[in-house]
Structure 1
Amino acid sequence: MQLVTGTLLHCLPKSPVQLEHSPETTLLIDDHGRIEAKGSLADLQKQHPKAPVIDYKDRLLVPGFLDTHIHFPQMDMIGAMAPSLLPWLEKYTFPTEMGFRGRSDLMLKAAHQFVDELLANGTTLACVYSSSNHDVTDLLFEVFAQRGLRGIIGKTSMNRHAPAPLLVPLADDISQQKALLQRWHGFDQRLALALTPRFAPSCTPDLMHALGELHAEYPDTYIQTHYAENVGELLWIKELFPEARDYLEVYESFQLLGPRTILAHGIHVEEDAMQRLAQTQTIISHCPTSNLFLGSGLFAWRKMEEHGVPIVLGTDVGAGTSFSLWQTMNEAYKVAALRGTPLQPVDLLAAATWKAAQALGLTDVGSLEVGYQADFQVINIRARPLLERRVKSASSAAEVLAALIHLADDRCVESVWVNGKQLRSS
């Protein structure tokens, strides 16, 4: 047992979502890393006099972030500029990913640095695209396991329309997916495999069919891919799949949609497709820093929400320009404002924490309520004097959260805990 004290700022696990701002509140964390109780330090100390106390006085305790779309190899190409998505893939992405092969000291260092960056930004769960190389993906799982982070990780499947070193034949890909599944899926209840067709143009119909069959065989695996990000991409889909009525039907036809599927972007989507996304409860990961960087378009958050589509947030490093989900929320707010459909601070925090967990089927992550896993970040507003000044002038919890969304960054993340264990301390 241990007692952790601070000011709680989190979403209560209720619908409609509610924000709780609770100063000088203590969490009792049990031996399994779960929040057993919360209340005043004095009361909980009376009940558990031998429990050590960690007092984060004047700090905020915020749930750890869930980054639902990020690329491990693309860490090395953040900020690489190109006119749009497809030229960017050809000029920067594919050449970079060709270097992510094998179990080398270089790959081990890269995996640790990737985890360092996630933790430095308060991320406690990441949905990660590895390269198409099995050994690199296996190594990344190992580092996540060793470091204690939660991860939904996938070896990217691709067997066409990319440089030869990145392509993996269908039979080899499925064999490698099964090996990763057997070793890592469900490991320590923190790690899971995501079947990861890069996007429809990179996979032959036979490969997507095989991935759909593998998911049917192991329905608790996740699926992650890209969808409707760019106008040029949509035109390419029409050429490659002329029989499909729209982009979404390509994935539908291979049984790749459902409540454990995460589609990144979803910018250029007709209302009929939104209805089908909602019917299948397929998740859309909104990646605003990436969409703005590549000029892909403005995501229709409110329209998607009205149809009942689960919306979560992703940094999409490296088209995305930051590992920070605070920065991602900041840009998501601006995108919605440009569409004339503003979001509230609680909408944004929920999409990065509790609602993301719910969408992923994780019922005990993303909030600081009793019964939830003790996954949280400790935010020191004094690390940024302007943020401290703005928070002190705030008149409500929503204003405090808004200040964090627009001003907080990795300098403010003092400590990160996952499953009741401190994984990072600055």
Structure 2
Amino acid sequence: MLEKKDTALEKAILIGVITKTQDEEKSEEYLDELEFLTYTAGGEVLKRFTQKMDMPNPKTFIGTGKMETVRQYIEENNVGTAIFDDELSAAQERNISKILNCKVLDRTNLILDIFAQRAQTSYARTQVELAQCEYLLPRLKGMWTHLERQKGGIGMRGPGETEIETDRRIVRDRISLLKDKIKVIDKQMSVQRGNRGKMVRVALVGYTNVGKSTLMNTVSKSEVFAENKLFATLDTTVRKVVIQNLPFLLTDTVGFIRKLPTQLVESFKSTLDEVREADLLLHVVDISHPNFEEHIASVNKILGEIDSSDKPTIMVFNKIDAYKAEPFDATDLIAERGEEHYSLAEWKRTWMNRVGENNALFISALNKDNLEDFKKRIYDEVRDIHVTRFPYNHFLYPDYDYEKLDEEE
């Protein structure tokens, strides 16, 4: 089911709605993200279409008048793909395809396609295929029109088994097989995690494309794939890192995204076991993104879904070098300012620092800005966890206050 895409960019249009729960500004933000997803998948967005409505049309998602406008544009500009910002039902997808006479995708389908391109290991490919099958199952009706039923005749009279039922059975069997395969791999990975002993585990979490892999490469001196595209990393990567004399395990995980498809949350929950079993989370945030507050909320929501919201967490605001210098104020960044970037002291006076209980870190993983403070903070946190786990390792931590630890016990 996983296919490689051509290098040529596909012409695409984007379609979204403005509703009571999603105003014009929010709709524009989602379409910006959808355009980046399209670019990541290998597409070129020619135009966006939006429509104000109380709720999406149950038959065609948008109204008939707007649909006709879209159809004309597609025909005149030879557009091959129409991408909708929200998940379409099977009926909506069929109806829209008949009207537009082009490939119709929704956000879920697009993300699944990107995951299919990016999956490198057998485990990731299995998880993506499972999500694809679960997405495909309710949409099988109408995908094939060459046969309604198996041919009749001698020995074949009666209703028989329709082709759609045959296809559904095949897909269900495939889903069952993939789930069994994932269970086997999960057991193997659980054994691997157990074999790592009691080393402190630190996991990088965050929205997609915030620089987790770049930070991983910088700190661990490894070669994890990093690119300015969404979902550059799908496969969980674990590296042993040593800061000063202290070893620990650092994990890079798949990035999160708003409106993350349910199928992917479910199929990738096992990958996020690394997050569940981590002793410390580094929540990496792209501070240069205009909607980073919403990204933080999205990540926190998913951490709650995988029972990891109560773990010790350090907020790491990355890409301070890319932050657009707006007028500055120490509390809300609105007063006038002449310099291009802010100093570390100024960052620490902003409300972002209070998000991390006055312990947030401000860095640039790409330019290695403030990485020494980052390493020192991680060292202190990991050391405290390690000393609690191995309270009498005086040779490793001769300067640690063990009397304080005994009092706490």
Larger radius of gyration: 2
TM-score interval for Structure 1 and Structure 2 normalised by the shorter chain: under 0.3
TM-score scaled by structure 1? 0.26
TM-score scaled by structure 2? 0.26
RCO (CA 8 Å, sep 6+): is it higher in 1 or 2?
1
